[in-house]
Amino acid sequence: MCGIVGTIGNPDTTNILLSGLQKLSYRGYDSAGIYVNDQKGHDYLVKKSGKLANLEKYITPEMQGMVGLGHTRWATHGEPSDANAHPFKSYDGRYYMIHNGVIDNYQQLRDKYLQGIPLTSQTDSEIIVQMIAKFAHDDHLTTKDALVKTLKLLDGSYSIIMVDSKDPEKLYVAKNQTPLLIGIANGFTLVSSDVLAMIHYTNKFIEMRDKEIGILTADTQTIEDYDGNVINVKPKTIKLDANAADKGAYPYYMLKEIDEEPVVIRRLLTNYLNQNGEPQFDATLIQRFAQIDHLYIVAAGTSYHAGLVGKAFFEQWANIPTSVLLASEAGYHMPLLSAKPGFLFLSQSGETADSRLVLSEINQQNMLSLTMTNVANSTLAREATFSLDLLAGPEIAVASTKAYTAQIALEAIFAKALGIANNITTAKEFPLKQQLSEVANGMQTLVDQKDKIKQLAHDYFADHQNAFYIGRGQDYYVSLEAALKLKEISYIHAEGFAAGELKHGTIALIEKGTPVVGFVTDPETALPMRSNVEEVIARGAHTLTIAAKSLADDTDAVIIPDVATLLTPLLSVVPAQLLAYYASLERGLNVDQPRNLAKSVTVQ
Ligand code: M6R
């Protein structure tokens, strides 16, 4: 979950590292550090707990170099502190290293190989650099051999970047189960967990694969397996607008990303529908998924909530029974599978460790899979049978917004394609293009109501520490997502509930003034839903209803345009995202970087 960046061959190394860390901060931000070496005998290490801005206060003008590495951390082992921040220096002062991942057997390795070696941190990561130094010294190994010997002993996930201060003309890198890409720039080389940290300098990248090491110089990039066989990899050109990840005039990425939601829906329509407005996908993908007898959607967090919404598309339009599984549960407790299953992985980042575990298990059984992700070259995209790009553009705010709505829209287009392939009338007749165009227009009217929603956030959430979101059917699934948004960025405890369930226990928590947000978008359940709202009003709740236009009355706070009931989550979630955003702002919090979280959850 950490972000790592390294570079060699550019005298502006310090700035390259700092700007890279800025771009990587979404991956973790509880401490940061850099190491630079000028290849003339001077080097500098600085690492500090807190955000990157804190580290920057300690960077002085003389800290310049030709090679260096930088790290931004999301703590797994050991609290956020200066000592636990990366880079780590080996006990003999020779090696400097940063690591992203988790070393599962670090205690055994420490006990077996590092007796008598003074460790400076509580992390699992530090043992790597200490073992390399120990093997290089005790076994008289070259740096590369000491690195490979160490890597062969590690159980777990890692991306590593390392400098040997005795030979700073090289940068050593290695990868297993966490992302690492090498960027080939004009006269210098970069390496990072994300292209975003390098895209200002190059669009030419080598994607490292698991259990490979790289030996990088300013103008060469040698990739080898752990047995020393050189692997010839052709660099890929990645097209990404370098400015797409900039905040522009927005105070926070989250607001920019909510504003982009209508554009993303239109982009999906342009890319996944043909001129007749019908879905267009790879023929083999459709043919293989049309034959499955059960779809298993696997995802975590917000992506899981998008999966819950998508279930109805696959069942009603494609006639495919669908189960939605929490990745963190499915990895250990897989349900009894059908005879011809197909798996759909939903993941903004494409790197979520819980989902990757499930995918690697189903791959071992040769089962069919599709990943829908926002990161085209991510691990889940590469390792699934098929992958589809969400086309949402970089999502930087930790709270996912446009990726959620993109996932739902792409599930709808894909479900319709499967329904057409299976000759299902409901799919053939559903006017998806027209409906999603109306969704995009409706999103625009909702994002334009920021002032009103800001006021609602103030009125409802300013003084409360508990809130409930209730709905039925699709509205229930939106309630889950709305509650997650509120709690992760405003730290208000919030729960999403199936409205009918509240009176089976949880209604005991409603007291005078408790905010309850109700979604009313389904004609079939509008009446019982209104009754549920009345039940909480009777117990003192301060209710805010978000209703579809045709079902609205004058007590409703936000009216969403009418679209097909199954698609209403695409609209009703927008005011909920904005409510969470303004509730967080109101509390003076960092909306994009909430405490304890990171964007890309690469540990289980
Ligand atoms: O990258 P993924 O979609 O696989 O991430 C899964 C969750 O960690 C993620 O959706 C998380 O819940 C959101 N960032 C919360 O807004």
pLDDT digits (tens, 9 = 90+) for 172-227: 999 998 889 999 999 999 999 999 999 999 999 999 999 999 999 999 999 999 99
pLDDT at 558 over 90: yes
Could you give the C-alpha distances from 290 to 270, 294, 339, in angstroms and in order?
Answer: 23, 10, 14
Contact residues for 68 (Cβ-Cβ < 8 A; gap 6+): 6, 7, 13, 14, 16, 17, 34, 35, 36, 37, 163
**Which helix (H) or strand (E) element contains residue 285?**
helix 283-290
| C-alpha span between 377 and 380 (Å, rounded) | 8
pLDDT at 602 over 90: no
| Parallel/antiparallel/unpaired status of strands 158-164 and 171-176 | antiparallel
Q: Which of 303, 356, 405 to mutate to test the pocket of ligand 1 (most atoms within 8 A of CB)?
A: 303
Any idea which residue has 């200002």 for tokens? 200
416 pLDDT tier (thresholds 50, 70, 90): very high
The 8-class DSSP code of residue 77 comes to S
Could you give the C-alpha distances from 396 to 6, 274, 430, 458, in angstroms and in order?
Answer: 21, 30, 34, 25
pLDDT at 1 over 80: no
pLDDT score recorded for residue 133: 98
Q: Which of 254, 345, 351, 352 to mutate to test the pocket of ligand 1 (most atoms within 8 A of CB)?
A: 352
- Output the residue whose Cα is nearest ligand 1's atom 8: 301
528 pLDDT tier (thresholds 50, 70, 90): very high
Contact residues for 19 (Cβ-Cβ < 8 A; gap 6+): 197, 200
| C-alpha span between 482 and 90 (Å, rounded) | 46
Closest atom, ligand 1, to C-alpha of 399: 16
pLDDT score recorded for residue 242: 73
| Dihedral pair phi/psi, residue 497, rounded to 5° | -135, 145
pLDDT score recorded for residue 440: 96
pLDDT digits (tens, 9 = 90+) for 226-252: 999 999 999 999 887 777 778 888 999
The 8-class DSSP code of residue 337 comes to P
| Dihedral pair phi/psi, residue 303, rounded to 5° | -65, -35
C-beta of residue 48 within 8 angstroms of C-beta of residue 54: yes
Identify whether 599 is a catalytic site residue: yes
Closest C-alpha among 227, 430, 400 to residue 304: 400
| C-alpha span between 512 and 490 (Å, rounded) | 21
- Of the chain, the end-to-end C-alpha distance in Å amounts to 10
pLDDT at 435 over 90: yes
- Output the residue whose Cα is nearest ligand 1's atom 2: 347
What whole-number percentage of the chain has pLDDT above 70? 100
Name the percent of the chain in helix, strand, coil, to the closest 5: 40, 20, 40
How many H helices and E strands in the chain? 19, 24
| Dihedral pair phi/psi, residue 412, rounded to 5° | -65, -45
Closest atom, ligand 1, to C-alpha of 301: 12
pLDDT at 520 over 80: yes
Q: Give the DSSP per-residue string, 413-471.
A: HHHHHHHHHTT-HHHHH--HHHHHHHHHHHHHHHHTTHHHHHHHHHHHHTT-SEEEEEE
The 8-class DSSP code of residue 273 comes to B
Around ligand 1, the residues with Cβ closer than 6 Å are 300-303, 347-349, 352, 355, 398-400, 488, 601
412 pLDDT tier (thresholds 50, 70, 90): very high
Q: Which of 48, 311, 487, 599 is the catalytic position?
A: 599
CA of 408 to the centre of ligand 1 (A): 14
Identify whether 175 is a catalytic site residue: no
Could you give the C-alpha distances from 37 to 16, 63, 204, 215, 359, in angstroms and in order?
Answer: 13, 8, 25, 17, 40
- Output the residue whose Cα is nearest ligand 1's atom 7: 301
Closest C-alpha among 173, 163, 238 to residue 208: 173
* CB-count burial class (<10 Å; 0-12, 13-18, 19+) for 351: buried
- Output the residue whose Cα is nearest ligand 1's atom 12: 301
Q: Which of 2, 89, 175, 487 is the catalytic position?
A: 2
pLDDT at 393 over 80: yes
Least confident among 112-116, 381-385, 592-596: 592-596
pLDDT score recorded for residue 74: 87
CA angle 208, 211, 215 (to 5 degrees): 60
Backbone conformation region of residue 491, classed left if phi is above 0, alpha if psi is from -120 to 50, else beta = left
Mean pLDDT of 345-356: 95
pLDDT score recorded for residue 27: 86
pLDDT at 450 over 90: yes
